[in-house]
Every structure is written in C-alpha cells, then in structure tokens.
Amino acid sequence: QKEVEQNSGPLSVPEGAIASLNCTYSDRVSQSFFWYRQYSGKSPELIMSIYSNGDKEDGRFTAQLNKASQYVSLLIRDSQPSDSATYLCAVDDKIIFGKGTRLHILP
Amino acid sequence: EADIYQTPRYLVIGTGKKITLECSQTMGHDKMYWYQQDPGMELHLIHYSYGVNSTEKGDLSSESTVSRIRTEHFPLTLESARPSHTSQYLCASSESGGDGYTFGSGTRLTVV
C-alpha cells in the first residue's frame, strides 16, 4: 500500500516570508510527484510537478525532490495572503494524495 | 475556462433515490477518476478508468458504479442514495504519461 504523509498543520507564516511544505512517500519506485493547491470549498489545482532529483522553480514556487530520502517539498517565497490554502502532495499517476497541509499566511 | 465539466453542481436528494453524477472532459484524456471528499478532509479515490471500457475501483469502498463508454464521459451512479453518501464528489482527468490531473468543479451531494 503506497502512502504519502504530510503534516496537517495549520502552518502559519508571516506575509513575505518563505513557506516550506514537506511530504514523504513510502514507495521507493515512485517516479512522479505533484503539488496541488486547494482553496476552501474549491477543487484542487495543479501548481507544480517534479520528476527528477533536485529543484524545480516556477515563479515564487520551488519544488524539491530527494528520492534517496523519499521526500518532496514545496517552497513558497514572498508568501502572500492569497497563498492561504491546503496544499496536497500527490505521488505517481495512480492518484495517491496526502492528507494535505493547511497553510495560513499572516498579513 | 474549465475543460472538465461536472453536473449538477449541487444536488439534494431523498434516501433511496437513484442518481447519476455527470463528468465530461474535452481534452481527449485517456484517464479519468472519481474522488470523494468531505469538508476539510482528504481525497479518497473511489473509481478510475484508463480508457474506454476500462474501469477499476479505488481505495475507498463505495456503493457507486461507473461506466466509460466514450473517452470524454465518465458518469458515476448511486443506485440507492443514503445519508452516508453526503459528500463532495470530484472528477479528474489526465493524459497517459501526462503532467498531473485537471479537476472538475465538483458535485456537492446531500442525501436527506
């Protein structure tokens, strides 16, 4: 049984600071990793994907993957109140989502 | 602009009724999924399909059924709705070897 673990939070971060979200996974052969953002009452939306060890940057977002340690993280630079949401980590194509981390950006 | 459509957006229905939740996508994606999510809780996979005439059950035991007769259409049916079925149902699709999922707006179901 594949598992994806996330700290449920809430994680409170001051506006303008860096928010760091972490995710660990159990299946060593997992190949693809995704971060989704879900606002309250809305559907998840894909914000980052990563397939290779290292960092991948897209605007204020950076995804980091370490397959040896089986973790993937998401950094949000210059956090804004609009970043307040639940962030879901997903592993592989078959749909294994973590429980999500609630992020709250403090104005 | 949504490329995956779910109807109805909200549904209140009585116990014992049969209901079908619709999901259609215009992206030509091979893979489609149904998730159930209660407010503030995690996503649970209930059904998925990797192509026409191919359907599988997910991790969450469900009394629903699905069909995939056309690539773009993946309806979910509850033969006899119960209050325990009250939840949000999310449909998603992805390409084979693609880059993550696209989710629909969801159907919020209330069974009274």
Residue located via tokens 């035991």? B61
User: Would you state the torsion angle of the CA atoms of residues B63, B68, B73, B79, taken in this order, to the nearest 10 degrees?
Assistant: -30
Instruction: Judge: A90–B100 Cβ closer than 8 Å, yes or no.
Output: yes
* pLDDT per residue as tens digits for the range B58-89: 877 678 999 999 999 999 999 999 999 999 99
Residue A6 to residue A32: CA distance in whole angstroms:
17
Partner-chain residue, chosen from A42, A46, A99, that has the shortest CB–CB distance to B101: A46
How many Cβ pairs closer than 8 A exist between chain A and B?
40
Interface probe, candidates B43, B46, B95, chain A, greatest A C-beta count within 10 A: B43
Instruction: Judge: B103–A98 Cβ closer than 8 Å, yes or no.
Output: no
Q: What residues in B contact A94, CB-CB < 8 Å?
A: 48
Q: What residues in A contact B94, CB-CB < 8 Å?
A: 93
* pLDDT per residue as tens digits for the range A2-53: 688 998 889 999 999 999 999 999 888 888 899 999 999 999 999 999 999 9
Which B residues 28-87 touch A at CB under 8 Å? 31, 33, 35, 39, 41-43, 45, 48, 58
pLDDT for the residue numbered A93: 60
- What is A19-63 written as a DSSP string? EEEEEEES-TT---EEEEEE-TTS--EEEEEE-SSEEEEETTEEE
Could you write out the three-class secondary structure of B62-89? Answer: CCEEECCCECCECCEEECCCCHHHCEEE
